[in-house]
Amino acid sequence: MAVETSQQEKILDAAYHCIAKQGYAHVTLRQIAKEAGVAVSQISYHYQNKEGLLLAVVTRAANKYQEYLQDYLKPDMTPKEKGDTLIRLYQQLLEEDVELFRVLYDLVGLSLWSEPFRLEVKEVFEGITEQITTEVFTDELMGELGYVYSSKTLASVFFGGLFGIAIQALLEQENEDIIKSLSALVVIFNK
């Protein structure tokens, strides 16, 4: 028996896909409503306004990212294996789920100009960095590597590398070497 998607979920799905295709600045509530098959007033009913809807999209993108991490990072993996897995996950997502990156990057751009978005995106990034810190840059690995940097600093560098290279990959989609260059991030594990 199929579960019917709620009107609120349909709106959120439509907003996510419209933003991924056109960017937040170019999408209207009318387009989202049309894509969702609802009246514009239903968006206001569920999300108050475009900003409220976008904040819900931020949460959706963050949850989707966290689901990927939970699916790929296994408790029995070593910290280095988890780091390698994150690199491979980014490579795979850049080929199979470009929408996620487009939405995330659009939201990051908006967060530079809007305090509510900044706080929401900051929280998402802090969560990702914290997960990388606890899962990858463990005390055990830090002792093995012997870096003078904190585990949080290395997690930030690692996440920044993943995120930055992913931006390059989106900007130069015809250059397959950029996605492959994510593999170079393993140097952080080789002191």
- Domain with residue 35: its CATH number is 1.10.10.60
Residue 64 pLDDT grade (very low, low, confident, very high; cuts 50, 70, 90): confident
Do 25 and 101 lie in one domain? The reply is no
Task: Give me the pLDDT at residue 107, please.
Answer: 87
DSSP secondary structure code for residue 172 in this structure: T
> Does the pLDDT at position 81 exceed 90?
yes
Domain co-membership, 98 together with 143:
yes
Residues 37 and 69 in one domain: no
In contact, 73 and 128? CB cutoff 8 Å: no
Domains identified in the chain, total number? 2
Sequence-ordered list of residues with C-beta below 8 angstroms from that of 85, at least 6 positions apart, any chain:
72, 73, 77
The vertex-65 CA angle with 128 and 14, nearest 5°, equals 135
Query: Which among 48, 68, 84 is the end of a domain?
Result: 48
- Paired tokens of 28: 């209207």
Mean pLDDT of 80-108: 90
State the average pLDDT over residues 5-31.
Answer: 91
Report which listed range, 60-64, 70-74, 149-153, is most confident: 149-153
In this predicted structure, the answer to whether residue 3 has a pLDDT above a threshold of 80 is: no
Asked if residue 160 and residue 67 are part of one domain, the reply reads: yes
pLDDT (tens digit per residue) in 164-188: 999 999 899 888 899 889 999 999 8
Task: Provide mean pLDDT across the span 41-56.
Answer: 89
Q: Which of 18-27, 37-46, 58-67 has the lowest mean pLDDT?
A: 58-67
The answer to whether the predicted template modeling score (pTM) of the entire model surpasses 0.75 is yes
78 and 113 inside one domain: yes
| 169-178 long-range contacts, CB within 8 A, separation 24+ | 169/94, 170/94, 170/98, 170/101, 170/102, 170/105
Predicted confidence at residue 4, as pLDDT, reads 58
* Cα gap 181→129, rounded to integer Å: 21
> In sequence order, what are the residues at sequence separation of 6 or more whose Cβ sits closer than 8 angstroms to the Cβ of residue 142?
151, 154
- The predicted structure's pLDDT at residue 2: 43
Do 44 and 61 have their domain in common?
no
Torsional class of 28: left (φ above 0), alpha (ψ -120 to 50), beta (otherwise): beta
Q: Are 136 and 179 contained in the same domain?
A: yes
pLDDT in the model for residue 159:
93
pLDDT value for 49: 87
Residues 15 and 73 in one domain: no
Q: Note the pLDDT of residue 1.
A: 44
Note whether 32 and 74 are same-domain residues: no
Give the model's pLDDT for residue 121. Answer: 87
One domain for residues 97 and 154? yes
CA gap 20, 93 in Å, rounded: 14
Question: What is the pLDDT at residue 104?
Answer: 87
Same domain, 33 and 62: no
- Do 140 and 97 belong to one domain? yes
List, for residues 114-131, the tens digit of each pLDDT value: 898 899 889 989 999 999
CATH code, domain carrying 91: 1.10.357
Domain membership of residue 10 as a residue range: 1-48
